[in-house]
Amino acid sequence: MEKSDVAAKYFSPRVSDRERAAFEAGIAIGMAIHQFSGIPIRFEEEARLLEKVIEYAILSQPFKSEARVRISIDIPKDYNPYKYSTLRSRNMDISVVVRYGKAYVKARLRYVPELDYSLAYIEDIGEVDEKEAK
Amino acid sequence: MEKSDVAAKYFSPRVSDRERAAFEAGIAIGMAIHQFSGIPIRFEEEARLLEKVIEYAILSQPFKSEARVRISIDIPKDYNPYKYSTLRSRNMDISVVVRYGKAYVKARLRYVPELDYSLAYIEDIGEVDEKEAK
Amino acid sequence: MEKSDVAAKYFSPRVSDRERAAFEAGIAIGMAIHQFSGIPIRFEEEARLLEKVIEYAILSQPFKSEARVRISIDIPKDYNPYKYSTLRSRNMDISVVVRYGKAYVKARLRYVPELDYSLAYIEDIGEVDEKEAK
Amino acid sequence: MEKSDVAAKYFSPRVSDRERAAFEAGIAIGMAIHQFSGIPIRFEEEARLLEKVIEYAILSQPFKSEARVRISIDIPKDYNPYKYSTLRSRNMDISVVVRYGKAYVKARLRYVPELDYSLAYIEDIGEVDEKEAK
C-alpha cells in the first residue's frame, strides 16, 4: 500500500498494489480516449502540441508516472473548408506507466488492425524492485 | 484467462484475471466521467434518462456485466435562460461490475467530501466462484 | 431584442435578432456534436434514449425552443466484446429551432454524402410573426 | 455569398452573410466548450499548450479566420495526488473571428461574474470592407 495515499481506506483491503495500479492505468486510458476524441485537426503543429497536452493530462491524475502519446492522422493537403480530420481513438498510440506502492503497470492503447479495434491492454506488470533490478 | 478473448494475447502473460478486471473497471469509469461531464441539464427527466444512457454506454464496452448510475444535480426551479446545470463528475454515483475469466471487480465512482474529490475506487474484488458461493 | 435578456447588453448593438438566433443555433449544434460524439453504443434502446437526452441538452441552453434528434447507427448483431459502435457526428440528424425576440432560425445537422461531411446549416430564418402567419 | 462555398446551396437563400458568419461563430464556441471542458490540469505548461491546441481546433473548422484562447485556472502548488484542476468553461476566454463572404463576426466566450455564467456573445459584426476601411 502507498503510505501517503489518503484514499486507500476507501478501497477493499483485498486490493493488491498491482490491482490498484491496473485500475489507475485503465482510468488514464478511458479518460484519454473520451476526453480528446472529436478534436478537429487541420494542422501538423496542432497534432504535435496535442500529443503533449494528452501526456500532461494523463500525468495530472493520481499515480501516473510516465506518459507518451503519438498521434497518426491524415491531414488533407489541399485547402477545402469542409475537409479536415477529427481525432479518433484509432489515431492515438498511448503508453502510460502507473506506479503504486510496490507495483507498476505499463499500459498501452493502440489500434490493432487484426481486431479492427483500438485496444487498451497491459504490456507489463510487476513489482518495482524487480523492475529496477533489471 | 477468458477463453473467448481474442485480445488476450496482446496482454502480458503476467496479468491475472483480477488485474485484467481491475483494468477494465478503470476504463469504464474514465470513460463515463470524460464522455458525459459537461452535458447541460435543465430537466429532471433528462437526468433520469441520462442515468440509463450512461449505464448502457458502460455495458457496451468489453466485460462490463453490471452498471448502475445515479445523478444528483440541482436544477434551478425558476426559469432563467442562463441558469441551468452542467453535469460534473461530482454529480455522478457510478457502480460497475466487471467479470473476466474467474475474477470479478466491483468499482465505484462517487464524490467523497473528505477528499473534495470524485474518487474512483474498488469496493470488492475476488474470484467468481467464491462470490457465487456466498 | 428580447426584453427579458439580461445578457443583451454584452452583445454589440449592431447584432440583429436574426443574427443572434443564428449564433445561438450554431452553439447548439457545436455543443451536440462535441459533447456526445464518442459514446459507446451496443443497444438499440440506448440509441433511442440518447436521442431524447440530446434533445433535452439542447433545450437546456438559452433560447432553444425545439429540438429533434435522430441517431442512425449500425449495431453489430452478434456478440463480440470488441465489436460495438461509437457515436459520431455522421450518425446524428439534428433539427433545432431558436427563437429570439422577433426572429427564428431553424438549423440542421446531418451527414451530406456529396460533401462527405456532417454539415451544420440553416434551413430557414425569418421573423416570428411571418412564420406564425403562414 | 462565398463563391467557393460548395455547401452554400444547403442553406436557405434567405440567410445573409452576416447571419451565416454568426452561425459559424456559434459552432466554434459550442465546440470549444464541449470538446475541451473536463481536461485534468496540473501543469502551467499544459495550460499554455492547451490554449494553442484550442486555437488550432477552432481554426480547423470552416471560415474561422482568427482565434485567441486564454486559460485562467488555479493549479495547486503542493503535490497531492487528488488535488488538480479540471478545465471548465469558466476558465476559458475565447475570441474568434469568422469571415464569410462580405461579412465578419467577432465572438467571445468569457465568464461574466454578474451573470455567474460563461457567456458566448458577439462583440462585433459587420461588412469586411467597412472593417478594412477603419
Beta bridge partners of D86: D40
A120 close to A32: Cβ distance less than 8 angstroms: no
How much is the average pLDDT of D34-60? Answer: 98
How much is the average pLDDT of D44-51? Answer: 98
ipTM of the complex: 0.95
What's the alpha-carbon Rg for chain C, to the nearest Å?
A: 17
Subunit partners of chain B (3 or more CB pairs within 8 A):
A, C, D
Note the pLDDT tens digit of each residue in A2-28. 778 999 999 999 999 999 999 999 999
- Burial of residue B3 (CB within 10 Å: 0-12, 13-18, 19+) is exposed
Q: How confident is the model at residue B2 (pLDDT cuts 50, 70, 90)?
A: confident
Give dist(CA A1, CA A22) in Å, integer: 14
pLDDT averaged over chain D? 95
Chain D neighbors of A78, CB-CB under 8 A = none
The nearest CA of chain D is from the CA of A39 a distance in Å of 6
Residues 6+ apart with CB under 8 A from D18: C16, C19, D103, D105, D125, D126, D127
The shortest CB-CB distance from C40 to any of B43, B52, B60 is to B60
- Give the rounded percent of residues in chain A with a pLDDT score beyond 70: 96
How much is the average pLDDT of C73-94? Answer: 95
- Asked if A117 and B11 come within 8 Å (Cβ–Cβ), the reply is no
- Burial of residue B132 (CB within 10 Å: 0-12, 13-18, 19+) is exposed
Task: Note whether C111 contacts D: Cβ–Cβ < 8 A.
Answer: no
Task: Note whether C92 contacts A: Cβ–Cβ < 8 A.
Answer: no
- Asked if B45 and C60 come within 8 Å (Cβ–Cβ), the reply is no
Note the pLDDT tens digit of each residue in B103-131. 999 999 999 999 999 999 999 999 987 55
The shortest CB-CB distance from D60 to any of A41, A52, A57 is to A41
Query: Which of A117-131, B31-45, C65-79 is predicted least confidently?
Result: A117-131
A124 close to A111: Cβ distance less than 8 angstroms: no
More confident residue, A60 or C2: A60
Note the pLDDT tens digit of each residue in B73-97. 999 988 899 999 999 999 999 999 9
Residue of D nearest to A87 (CA): D57
Q: How confident is the model at residue D129 (pLDDT cuts 50, 70, 90)?
A: confident
Beta bridge partners of B96: B67, B107
- Asked if A117 and C82 come within 8 Å (Cβ–Cβ), the reply is yes
Q: pTM here?
A: 0.96
pLDDT at D47 over 90: yes
Task: Note whether B37 contacts D: Cβ–Cβ < 8 A.
Answer: yes
- Asked if D46 and A40 come within 8 Å (Cβ–Cβ), the reply is no
The nearest CA of chain A is from the CA of C35 a distance in Å of 9
Residue of A nearest to C119 (CA): A82
Q: How far is CA C58 from the centre of its chain?
A: 6
Residues 6+ apart with CB under 8 A from D93: D69, D70, D71, D72, D108, D109, D110, D111
**Backbone dihedral angles phi then psi of residue B117, each to the nearest 5 degrees:** -150, 145
Task: Note whether B73 contacts D: Cβ–Cβ < 8 A.
Answer: no
* Residue whose C-alpha cell is 465578419: D104
pLDDT at A54 over 70: yes
pLDDT of the residue at C36 = 98
Q: For the domain bounded by C14-133, which CATH number is listed?
A: 3.30.1300.20
Residue spans per domain, chain D: 14-133
Note the pLDDT tens digit of each residue in B51-77. 999 999 999 999 999 999 999 999 998
Task: Note whether A33 contacts C: Cβ–Cβ < 8 A.
Answer: yes
Beta bridge partners of C101: none
- Asked if B60 and C38 come within 8 Å (Cβ–Cβ), the reply is no
D63 close to D101: Cβ distance less than 8 angstroms: no
Residue of A nearest to D87 (CA): A57
pLDDT of the residue at C39 = 98
Q: How confident is the model at residue C101 (pLDDT cuts 50, 70, 90)?
A: very high
Task: Note whether B15 contacts A: Cβ–Cβ < 8 A.
Answer: yes
Task: Note whether C65 contacts B: Cβ–Cβ < 8 A.
Answer: no
pLDDT of the residue at C27 = 98
How much is the average pLDDT of C82-94? Answer: 97
- Asked if D56 and A62 come within 8 Å (Cβ–Cβ), the reply is no
- Give the rounded percent of residues in chain D with a pLDDT score beyond 90: 89
pLDDT of the residue at D9 = 97
Q: How confident is the model at residue A130 (pLDDT cuts 50, 70, 90)?
A: low
pLDDT at B33 over 60: yes
Alpha helices in C37-124 (DSSP H): 44-60
Chain A neighbors of B12, CB-CB under 8 A = 122-125
Note the pLDDT tens digit of each residue in D66-98. 999 999 999 998 889 999 999 999 999 999 999
- Asked if D39 and A57 come within 8 Å (Cβ–Cβ), the reply is yes
Note the pLDDT tens digit of each residue in C12-70. 999 999 999 999 999 999 999 999 999 999 999 999 999 999 999 999 999 999 999 99
Give dist(CA B66, CA B70) in Å, integer: 14
Give dist(CA D121, CA C104) in Å, integer: 18
Subunit partners of chain C (3 or more CB pairs within 8 A):
A, B, D
Q: How confident is the model at residue A132 (pLDDT cuts 50, 70, 90)?
A: low
For residue A24, say whether it is annotated as part of any ligand binding site.
Answer: yes
